[in-house]
Amino acid sequence: MKKTLLAAAVMAASSVAFAASNVTLYGVVDASVVVGKVKHQDTTVQLKSGFRNGSRWGIKGVEDLGNGYAVGFILEQGYNVDDGTTANGWSKDNSGAFNRESKLYVQGNFGQIGFGRLGSLAGGAQSNNLLTGWALGTSYDGGSWTALAKGNGRLNNAIAYVSPDFAGFKFSAMYSNGTKKDDAKWSDNVHYYGIGGQYTLGGFKNSLIFEAVDNKGQTNSNTAYLINLGLGYNFGAITPMFAYQYNWQKDGVKDNVFGLSALAPLGGGTAKIGARYLFGKNEGTLAANQSDRRRAWTINGAYEYPLSKRTTTYAYAGYNHGSKGLKADITANQTIKLNGYQVGVGMTHNF
């Protein structure tokens, strides 16, 4: 009896402590069945995790310091529903706890400064993301913006600043002192630099982002650059969007990627559709008979229906086609199933 009362007292005390410090446990469980076919390869049928939204669990919290200041944290772990393994890791075995985001931040009237493993400004994920202009975002494998266009993903050893909101406009800057786990000295690390702004007011959601990675010690050690522009306006009945990326590297790839897309409420859910076109040139070393010209186009669509406030079911279909130097299934450091299709159905549950 005494042990029961003591346990209850400890649990009650713990609940009070967590409530006072505003700590939240949250997560996403996403599972789907996806059928895919790439030219000259067998048709595949897969149970996939994170096809629409990356499966994850996390802990976040914030402490009010008074006078408008606060300290907070985000610790988020990715995992695969289909086999229970970790996801989004940076090591060879894809391991690492809180591999999606591990962030400690301070915020106040000056804005926010955060430190840790962070998503890049145009990576399409995590709390510092600014990317806009593509209705399917970074969901649905080949339908993801960063599957055809280039993306810098998540960054270790990063620091980021986000300005206060100025009439709908926010400015962000980010630096990473080594994008990979590396025992080399600072000057030999691969460094990331990013600046960008997002304008969100009324129906507008626009962004402009510039990123650079210096690639020290890599096969092509020239700095790689990215510019992303995203435009969109919510008219109520439909939200049309436009996205553009220019990425370039001396003695490497130079690509232009355009995207037109839209989302609209339909039958109690949301319909999303988009088309993209890539043209560019590879000025690096080429294989025998490989064209230096790069061409690709995609068409992608999805329908998402909420079964409840926390559970959404969805269907997706997409076709991606590459030609010239993109007959293979790889673009600028990104993998995409070119010359093939994907169809899938699944469910996302948020807790």
pLDDT computed for residue 93 by the predictor: 60
Enumerate residues 6+ apart whose C-beta is below 8 A from 263: 135, 238, 239, 241, 270, 271, 272, 273
Split the chain (351 residues) into runs of 10 and give each run's mean pLDDT.
40 42 93 91 92 97 96 96 86 74 97 97 96 97 93 94 97 87 70 97 97 90 97 98 98 97 98 98 84 94 98 97 77 60 97 96
Backbone angles phi, psi at 4, to 5 degrees: -65, -45
Stated as kind and residue range, the H or E segment containing 19 is helix 2-21
Question: What is the β-pairing status of strands 23-38 and 56-66?
Answer: antiparallel
What is the number of other CB atoms lying within 10 angstroms of the CB of residue 327?
15
pLDDT computed for residue 288 by the predictor: 75
pLDDT computed for residue 289 by the predictor: 78
Enumerate residues 6+ apart whose C-beta is below 8 A from 323: 295, 296
CA distances from 261 to 14, 23, 25, 312 (A): 48, 37, 34, 21
CA distances from 332 to 80, 190, 284, 305 (A): 26, 17, 12, 33
User: 323: exposed, middle or buried (C-beta count within 10 Å: 0-12, 13-18, 19+)?
Assistant: middle
pLDDT computed for residue 179 by the predictor: 65
| Residue 165: DSSP 8-state | P
Q: Which of 60, 49, 62 is nearest to 26 (CA)?
A: 60
CATH number of 112-350: 2.40.160.10
The partner residues of 263 in beta bridges, in order of sequence, read 239, 272
Ordered by start, the domain boundaries in the chain are: 112-350
Token representation of residue 233: 């306006």
pLDDT computed for residue 332 by the predictor: 45
Is the Cβ–Cβ distance between 87 and 95 less than 8 Å?
no
pLDDT computed for residue 201 by the predictor: 94
CA distances from 229 to 149, 285, 334 (A): 12, 29, 19
pLDDT computed for residue 21 by the predictor: 63
